[in-house]
């Protein structure tokens, strides 16, 4: 049976070049990077070269990059350590934040360690900068966590403007950039961001490896205690070949960024046009149709009310179309999307997220549209 994969915001297929590199490195660089013998030093060199490469791509110093198991650990490290070590008692986030941000902040609020404020958002999911200023002006020093681009509806926030506001009020600024690292250019010298998170599997690297960017202006203690790895900032033997693959995936992404962005935007535009011309009463969440203000990899679609709404994803899967209802990180459960509920709480229309990569084609989109027409017509 023919199948198409349109769930790249959940995870991307690994690039064949990276699979080959990892396979070879598993044979040659198996040693613990903490070991002082030649085998260990060779593994350590791989880790440090990857750190330098990533830092160069982000225009920052290698000392600001700390490897983690992925975006969730990076977010938790930034939030818990940033708040605890700086004795922060007030935090601001958006109700559209990923659960890797919302849950640790909610835990700290439940424990009575912080007051948690939610910034106003408009119908597209864009945060209110005037409200941010108001919250910062009327509270003690604050930890602000605003994700760069939403993983479900694709709305992009102006993190440069947010960073400047945070700097004005001496706030600590964390941004979940898991959906945008290696998809958009970053110049950390131009951004007043204290923490950022990344995960390799979002840009054709392996699962289980990512990093947290920590500004040189911020000092925190480690979240995980044990060994002295990552310059005493993250205990645990380094995932050497995973780290090498993370760096290689970023290098490949940025080397071909312009052409891949153009190609994937073309796929997204093609699917939007297909929906408009071949299906009735289809709407789009957030700023999905605005190519300059949304993730070019994500198209979040709002379909007409239907008796098969709860089975829509299942039926599409049976027909060979892989996609998500909101966030794939939670789609295995029965809960509705907290993001879609926040921007349109009364709607009974089903929402589906289609997300693209360089490995998709227009034929994939034609196939998906044909199967959707079977279900709705």
Residues of the chain above pLDDT 90, percent: 86
Q: Please state whether beta strands 298-302 and 283-284 pair in parallel, antiparallel, or not at all (unpaired).
A: antiparallel
Going 58 to 10 to 286 to 338, the CA torsion angle's sign is negative
Does pLDDT of 331 surpass 70?
no
The helix-helix angle for 257-278 and 240-255 (nearest 10°) equals 70
Determine the pLDDT at residue 344: 61
Query: Where in 119-209 does DSSP place strands (E)?
Result: 142-145, 172-176, 195-199
Q: Each residue of 218-264: pLDDT tens digit?
A: 999 999 999 999 999 999 999 999 999 999 999 999 999 999 999 99
User: Greater confidence, 342 or 309?
Assistant: 309
* Distances 287 to 116, 271, 300 between C-alpha atoms, Å: 27, 15, 9
Least confident of 133-147, 214-228, 263-277, 342-356: 342-356
Does pLDDT of 307 surpass 90?
no
Mean pLDDT of 263-275: 98
> Residue 337: pLDDT band by 50, 70, 90 thresholds?
confident
Which numeric CATH code is attached to 16-255? 3.40.640.10
Give the phi and the psi of residue 304 in degrees, each rounded to 5. Answer: -60, 155
The topology (CATH level 3) of 4-13+256-376 is: 3.90.1150
Residue 131: CB atoms within 10 A of its CB come to 15
Exposed, middle or buried: residue 304 (CB in 10 Å: 0-12, 13-18, 19+)? middle
Reference 74, options 262, 214, 186; nearest CA is: 214
The catalytic residue positions are: 329
Does pLDDT of 348 surpass 80?
no
Determine the pLDDT at residue 340: 64
Least confident of 95-99, 140-144, 246-250, 360-364: 95-99
Query: What does pTM read for this prediction?
Result: 0.93
> Residue 128: pLDDT band by 50, 70, 90 thresholds?
very high
Q: Each residue of 49-62: pLDDT tens digit?
A: 999 999 999 999 99
Give the phi and the psi of residue 142 in degrees, each rounded to 5. Answer: -125, 150
Does pLDDT of 310 surpass 90?
no
Does pLDDT of 329 surpass 60?
no
Does pLDDT of 309 surpass 90?
no
Query: How is the chain split into domains, by residue range?
Result: 4-13+256-376, 16-255
Mean pLDDT of 162-177: 98
Does pLDDT of 341 surpass 80?
no
Backbone torsion region of residue 363, taken as left when φ is above 0, otherwise alpha when ψ lies between -120 and 50, otherwise beta? alpha
């Amino acid at each position: 049976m023919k199948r198409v994969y349109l769930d790249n915001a959940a995870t991307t297929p690994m690039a064949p070049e990276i699979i080959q590199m990892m396979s070879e490195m598993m044979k040659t660089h198996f040693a613990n990077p903490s070991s002082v013998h030649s085998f260990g030093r060779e593994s350590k060199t791989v880790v440090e070269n990857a750190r330098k490469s990533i830092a160069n791509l982000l225009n920052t110093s290698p000392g600001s990059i700390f490897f983690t198991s992925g975006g969730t650990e990076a977010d938790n490290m930034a939030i818990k350590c940033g708040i605890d070590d700086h004795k922060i008692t007030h935090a601001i986030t958006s109700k559209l934040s990923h659960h890797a941000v919302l849950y640790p902040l909610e835990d700290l609020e439940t424990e009575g360690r912080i007051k948690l404020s939610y910034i106003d958002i408009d119908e597209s999911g864009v945060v209110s900068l005037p409200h941010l200023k108001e919250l910062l002006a009327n509270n003690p020093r604050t930890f602000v966590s605003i994700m760069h681009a939403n993983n479900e509806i694709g709305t992009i926030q102006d993190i440069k403007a947010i960073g400047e506001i945070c700097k004005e009020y001496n706030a600590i600024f964390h941004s979940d950039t898991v959906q945008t690292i290696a998809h958009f250019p970053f110049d950390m010298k131009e951004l007043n961001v204290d923490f950022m998170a990344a995960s390799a599997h979002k840009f054709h690297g392996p699962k289980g490896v990512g990093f947290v960017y920590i500004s040189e202006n911020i000092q925190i203690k480690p979240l995980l205690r044990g060994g002295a790895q990552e310059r005493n900032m993250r205990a645990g033997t380094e995932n050497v070949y995973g780290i090498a693959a993370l760096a290689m995936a970023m290098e490949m992404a940025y080397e071909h960024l312009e052409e891949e962005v153009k190609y994937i935007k073309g796929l997204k535009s093609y699917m939007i046009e297909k929906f408009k011309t071949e299906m009735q009463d289809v709407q789009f969440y957030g700023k999905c149709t605005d190519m300059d203000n949304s993730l070019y990899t994500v198209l979040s679609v709002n379909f007409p009310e239907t008796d098969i709404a709860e089975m829509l994803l299942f039926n599409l899967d049976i027909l060979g179309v892989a996609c998500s209802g909101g966030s794939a990180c939670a789609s295995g459960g029965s809960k509705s999307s907290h993001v879609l509920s926040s921007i349109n709480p009364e709607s009974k229309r089903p929402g589906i997220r289609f997300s693209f990569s360089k490995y998709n084609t227009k034929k994939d989109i034609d196939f998906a549209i044909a199967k959707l027409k079977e279900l709705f017509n």
